Amino acid sequence: MKTLNPAVARVLKRLHYPLDVILTCVRWYVAYPLSLRNLEDMMAERGVSVDHSTVHRWVVKLLPVLEKAFRLRKRPVGKSWRMDETYIRVKGAWRYLYRAVDKDGNTIDFLLRAHRDKTAARRYFEKSIAQNGAPKTVTIDKSGSNLAALEAINANRETPIKIRQSKYLNNPVEQDHRAIKRRTRPMLGFKTFRCARILLANIELMHMIVKGQMKLARGAHLSAADQFYNLAI
């Protein structure tokens, strides 16, 4: 019998439901355009009585642990990045989700920020470089704040990152936004910044798993669902 991830085991002590029920609800919520009440109804059809507020508690408690586990198993990404930001509604206001993909469409990293400016862009690049190593090239749109952020980072580097500004070349990341927006649209915005960060991180996580960005044991062939569940062990 496989042993649970210790961090997951600590969370489960406070979540009084079978692990398979919890993981199924959590995965469905980040993988598909479903509401919490949809999940409550779907579980009821399967003979499991669980309130939508309980599902929300599972999501908030368990997802950060699974994201941390995924980060340790994420495949390396390429050195040519396409970076852009998209809008996300939080507490009735538009916030900014910074994202990038490599030339093969693999997600580099993501960061939700309250403002769209040089400080936010620089924080995104610093986080992405810390997690993935420095790129050779970054393609951005005509945003002055993104350019200023990269120039500030280059000022402290012996080997500067090559910067390209092109709307056309940035199409891959703009297209990749759609998978994230398709999942967030039914949510009609997030109530708190903290919940937005947790949910977006794990919508991104599921998207990366679907794209094949999780390391597997040699010869292993697992569905996206099973890869997600394996993060708990």
CATH, residue 91: 3.30.420.10
Q: How far apart are CA 149 and CA 120, in angstroms?
A: 8
What pTM was computed for the model? 0.94
Residues 85 and 51 in one domain: no
**Among residues 32, 194, 206, 30, which one has the least CA distance to residue 107?**
206
Sign of CA dihedral 107, 112, 115, 118: negative
Distances (CA, A) of 200 to 67, 154, 180, 184: 11, 29, 8, 8
Report the domain count for the chain: 2
Residues 123 and 68 in one domain: no
Q: How far apart are CA 222 and CA 233, in angstroms?
A: 15
- Residue 90's DSSP bridge partners are 93, 190
**Which stretch of DSSP H or E encloses residue 36?**
helix 36-45
Please count the other Cβ atoms lying within 10 Å of the Cβ belonging to residue 160.
Answer: 14
Please answer whether residues 169 and 139 qualify as being in contact, where contact means their C-beta atoms are separated by less than 8 angstroms: yes
Domain with 37, as residue range(s), is 6-73+214-230
Residues 117 and 35 in one domain: no
Residues 147 and 222 in one domain: no
Compute the C-alpha angle 153/145/185, nearest 5°: 115
**pLDDT in tens for each of the 233 residues of the chain?**
478 899 999 988 888 899 999 999 999 999 999 999 999 999 999 999 999 999 999 999 999 999 999 999 999 999 999 999 999 999 999 999 999 999 999 999 999 999 999 999 999 999 999 999 999 999 999 889 999 999 999 999 999 999 999 877 788 999 999 999 999 988 878 999 999 999 999 999 999 999 999 999 998 999 999 999 999 98
**Which stretch of DSSP H or E encloses residue 98?**
strand 93-102
